[in-house]
Amino acid sequence: MKTMTKNKNKETKHSSLIVRWVSIVALTITVSFVIFSVVVYQIVSRQSLDQQEEMSLNVVTTLNRTLSSIPDELEISNVIPSLSPATRRILKGEPAISDKDSTNNAFSDNLIASISNPDINSAVYNKHGEIVFTNGNVTPKFKSFKEVSKNELVKRNGHQILLTYQKVYSSVNNKLTGYIVVSNNMTYYNSLMKNLLHSMVAISIIAIVVFVVTSYILVFNVVKPIKRMSKVAQEVNADPNSGARIKELNRDDELENLATSINQMLDRMQSYIEQQKQFVGDVSHELRTPVAVIEGHLNMLERWGKDDPQILDESIKASLQEADRMKHLIQEMLDLTRAEQIDVQYPHEVTNVYDTVKRVVADLAMVHPDFEIRLDEDDLPQDTEIQIYHGHLEQLLVILIDNAIKYSTNLKQINVSAGLTKKEVNIIVQDFGEGISKEDQKKIFNRFYRVDKARTREKGGNGLGLSIAHKLVDSYHGEISVESVEGQGSQFKLTFPLISKKKAAKLKKLNENSELPKSNLE
């Protein structure tokens, strides 16, 4: 009861595999893309920033090289002429454009060119932080700083701006003469990083959508057959006799294998249930007769038989006979059930056929002195061995010889022969009794089947011997067959696969090592 409620809870609690799977995929992809994007963004940003810093530093260095040649404190009067050759000439009263410029003042021209980058604004301040020169649209502000040179990133209107500060020392007397401040708008860098960010977000969104959709399709494909299987399992759970089976999945994979295995398992389980039902029905039917007989005798005794010693004697004898039959029946039913578990109980048993057949025949001949039981073992080498537990081979021989004796008529002779072919060992039990019709030959191996119920009962038969024999032989991968002519007799043949000497030795060794208990099956 407890387990049922537990299972029910489990059923209702289940959350969709698809939702779980897709969420995990989406989360994993998102996290991976975010990490990947951040790393790529950082690398690109670092490299581009390095380039921008180098560009700013070039301007600052170029300016500094020119300004350091001024020995005095920087001021408009000495900075402007040194930075602009044209200004210097005008101040000297010469023409602004000179042929000499290209050679004499090439450095200054280059300087102007380098600081004329539209992205870069530069300014020169004197020792007191007062502006003495500026170039560009915006004048980068002065801010005191301790180091000789420093870079600073600031954000303006959502854009990153690089500020480079450097002190100017006179190359003549090594004295601090002023400061250079260069601001770099980094237009290229800002637009590159903006585009990169947009692309990454777009790619991430597309990737997440693609992965989520494909994983949904994939998982759906896996979950669909699982749902089918679960539905069938529920149906069979609700009604163990249900014929519900998993339909063919048309996919050559593990799920198809699982579906096939589940179907086979359900078939087997239902066949076991059917067999079990049949067995219980058969058993109760078989037990009913002896119980009814005993009950009848007891009733009779109770009513009027107690005082009649003859009736009393007869009834007690008859009841005892029925009780004995019941005992025999129960033993046979146990044998039948156990015959189905041989694989597990006797995996490594090896038996010498010659010795066993000889022993059983001798024993039965002693019990039935009125019968002539002939043994022909000429074709059987004495060391012939087969894979079977010796008790089971004995049981098989007893069943067949016992039947031959039971169903013999006038000629009380039984022939037992044992022989060998290339791959098999054959044991034949022949009688010259009543024989079995073709129709009955097909049924005699069924449980509780008797050709003539009343007559067999008289002989003490329960119709279980041959079904036990059939199960045993089956378990040892052998065969049992019958040939019979009504009124002339029957011949039952046992066939077992022959095993090599090597295999026999190996099995014996394994058997010595195994500690399985056998007593319960004997």
Write out 217-228 in H/E/C secondary structure.
Answer: HHHHHHHHHHHH
Host H or E run for residue 235: helix 187-238
Q: Which of 29, 293, 339, 464 binds ligand ADP (CB under 6 A)?
A: 464
Q: Which of 189, 407, 476, 496 binds ligand ADP (CB under 6 A)?
A: 407
Determine the interface stretch with ligand ADP among 169-177, 271-279, 464-472, 505-513 (rule: CB under 6 A). 464-472
Interface with ligand ADP, residue 401, by CB under 6 A: no
Report CA-CA distances (Å) from 25 to 212, 222, 225. 7, 15, 21
Q: What is the token pair recorded at 134?
A: 């500026």
Q: How far is the C-alpha of 68 from the C-alpha of 449, rounded, in Å? A: 123
Q: Confirm if 79 and 133 have CB atoms less than 8 A apart.
A: yes
Site for ligand ADP in 354-383 (CB under 6 A): none
Count of residues touching ligand ADP (by CB under 6 A) = 22
- List the x/- string, 487-516, binding to ligand ADP by CB under 6 A: ---x--------------------------
Q: Give CA angle at 161 (159, 165), nearest 5°.
A: 170
CB-wise, 349 or 402, nearer to ligand ADP? 402
Q: Which of 170, 162, 192, 195 is nearest to 52 (CA)?
A: 162
Interface with ligand ADP, residue 289, by CB under 6 A: no
CB-wise, 393 or 464, nearer to ligand ADP? 464
Point out which residues pair with 485 in neighbouring strands: 489
Interface with ligand ADP, residue 436, by CB under 6 A: yes
- List the x/- string, 14-53, binding to ligand ADP by CB under 6 A: ----------------------------------------
Q: Which of 290, 305, 461, 478 binds ligand ADP (CB under 6 A)?
A: 461
Interface with ligand ADP, residue 465, by CB under 6 A: yes
3-state secondary structure of 427: strand
Q: Which of 79, 404, 414, 521 binds ligand ADP (CB under 6 A)?
A: 404
Host H or E run for residue 115: helix 106-115
Interface with ligand ADP, residue 61, by CB under 6 A: no
- How many alpha carbons lie under 13 Å from residue 112 in its C-beta half-sphere? 13
DSSP character string of 302-359: IIIITT-HHHHHHHHHHHHHHHHHHHHHHHHHHHHHHHTTHHHH-TT--EEHHHHHHH
Whole-number minimum distance, CB 439 to ligand ADP, in Å?
Answer: 12
Determine the interface stretch with ligand ADP among 19-27, 149-157, 178-186, 430-438 (rule: CB under 6 A). 430-438
Determine the interface stretch with ligand ADP among 258-266, 379-387, 445-453, 512-520 (rule: CB under 6 A). 445-453
Sign of torsion over alpha carbons 29, 30, 31, 34:
positive
Report CA-CA distances (Å) from 191 to 4, 163, 188, 310, 384. 66, 18, 5, 124, 94
Interface with ligand ADP, residue 433, by CB under 6 A: yes
10 Å Cβ neighbour count for 467?
21
CB-wise, 290 or 433, nearer to ligand ADP? 433
Q: Which of 451, 494, 504, 521 binds ligand ADP (CB under 6 A)?
A: 451
Helix, strand, coil abundance in the chain, percent, nearest 5: 60, 15, 25
CB-wise, 119 or 332, nearer to ligand ADP? 332
Whole-number minimum distance, CB 430 to ligand ADP, in Å?
Answer: 9
Instruction: List CB contacts of 7: < 8 A, sequence separation 6 or more.
Output: none
| DSSP letter assigned to residue 373 | E
CB-wise, 63 or 451, nearer to ligand ADP? 451
CB-wise, 180 or 399, nearer to ligand ADP? 399
Interface with ligand ADP, residue 466, by CB under 6 A: yes
Determine the interface stretch with ligand ADP among 89-97, 235-243, 280-288, 427-435 (rule: CB under 6 A). 427-435
Interface with ligand ADP, residue 456, by CB under 6 A: yes
Q: Which amino acid is at 119?
A: D
Q: Which of 151, 333, 434, 494 binds ligand ADP (CB under 6 A)?
A: 434
Q: Which of 120, 444, 472, 473 binds ligand ADP (CB under 6 A)?
A: 444
Interface with ligand ADP, residue 193, by CB under 6 A: no
Query: Which residues contact ligand ADP (rule: CB under 6 A)?
Result: 399, 403-404, 406-407, 431, 433-434, 436, 444, 449-451, 456, 461-467, 490
